Amino acid sequence: MIFLLEKAPPDPAEVAQLQALQAAGLPVTPTLVLGGLEAEFYQLGNLAEQIRRAFEGVFGARLDEEKLEKACAFAEKLLRESYLLPERADELRAALPEGPVLVRYAGEAPFGLEAGKQETLWALKRLWASRWQLDAVLLRAPELAPPETASLVQSVGDALGPDEALSARASEVLGFRVKVWTSQGRVVRVEPW
């Protein structure tokens, strides 16, 4: 559920890449990998069933745009206003580092930069709710369920930017060309180039 990078299952690909870079001695920012936490959140709040009902009749012979907009708004609000299991929230708060953290899905661009532990929990719910924005739903339509992807919480400084030297070293380690994004000289994000 909540893993340090070095102990996380190496799926999705970016988690495995960050692990390989760390094992090769490259500086990788402290990273928490949240696997299955989003699925647990959906299950314990019966969110999937509520969302399924909200989307009934949206994808038929033709797309009902008005129903789609209402269903998306409902799903986003539902996720933002639902609660994590208290024990899980406490466990996550205890694992979170001090200082600014980046919240995002593995393999995807940064979502939010947060300063505190409670703010990070809110950002996770906003991240999960973002899967129900209109454009995101249309991209995966008619499939309703969002893809299961690990959420990452990473220690960062104020700036995040590409690093050519570390990109070259990372490309050598991984065996294919990548671009790495760093903060305070540590790898935060790996993307194919």
For 1-34, give the DSSP string.
-EEEGGGS---SHHHHHHHHHHHTT--B--EEEE
Q: Answer whether 164's CB lies under 8 Å from 20's CB.
A: no
Q: Does residue 192 have a cis peptide bond before it, meaning omega lies within 30 degrees of 0?
A: no
pLDDT of residue 62: 87
d(CA 167, CA 178): 6
How many independent structural domains does the chain possess? 1
* Amino acid letter for position 81: E
What pLDDT was estimated at residue 129? 96
Q: How far is CA 118 from CA 34, 35, 94, 101, 123, in A?
A: 16, 19, 11, 12, 9
CATH number for the domain spanning 80: value is 3.30.1490.20
- State residue 19's pLDDT score: 97
pLDDT higher than 90, residue 60:
no
**Domain residues for 164?**
2-192
The confidence band for 61, taking pLDDT boundaries of 50, 70 and 90, is: confident
Query: In the prediction, which pLDDT does 6 show?
Result: 94
Task: Answer yes or no: is pLDDT of 158 > 80.
Answer: no
For residue 39, the model assigns a pLDDT of 93
